[in-house]
Amino acid sequence: MSKIVSIKENYLFSKIYAKGKRASGRHVAVYVLRNYKSRETCLGITTGKKIGNAVQRSRARRLIREAFRAASAGKKWKKPFWIVVVARSALTEPGKKKQHVLADLNAAFSQLDLFASEVEA
């Protein structure tokens, strides 16, 4: 299991929301901004109170983290990025699994063109 570097500073979240690119799906919205401070891609997860109680918000964060690991496994980022994933209320509907979030993340990552092409070697 790979370690995910997380974003914890509020000013970074604000900066990414204001200046970053956005792609959204039914279950999550993704904000991306180039990371000039380090060589690693960092992930921030936001789950608001509209999502549900603490148990539902924690489950949403776990699903997003696992889907992010699966979406980025074996792929190379073009550059280091700050990525913020915002959970939407559709994520807490009964029967939602990692595959639902993974489909949204893959669509958002391809729309934002974050991964280097497979041909480069």
pLDDT tens, 70-81?
999 888 888 999
Residue 26 corresponds to which tokens in the numbers above?
Answer: 């039914």
Sorting pLDDT into bands at 50, 70 and 90, what band is 119?
low
Instruction: Give the tens place of pLDDT for each residue, 5-59.
Output: 999 999 999 999 999 999 999 999 999 999 998 889 999 999 999 999 999 999 9
Overall CATH class of domain 5-20+28-112: alpha beta
Per-residue pLDDT at 81: 94
The torsion angle over the Cα atoms of residues 36, 107, 23 and 85, rounded to 10 degrees, is -70
Query: Any idea where the domains of the chain sit in the sequence?
Result: 5-20+28-112
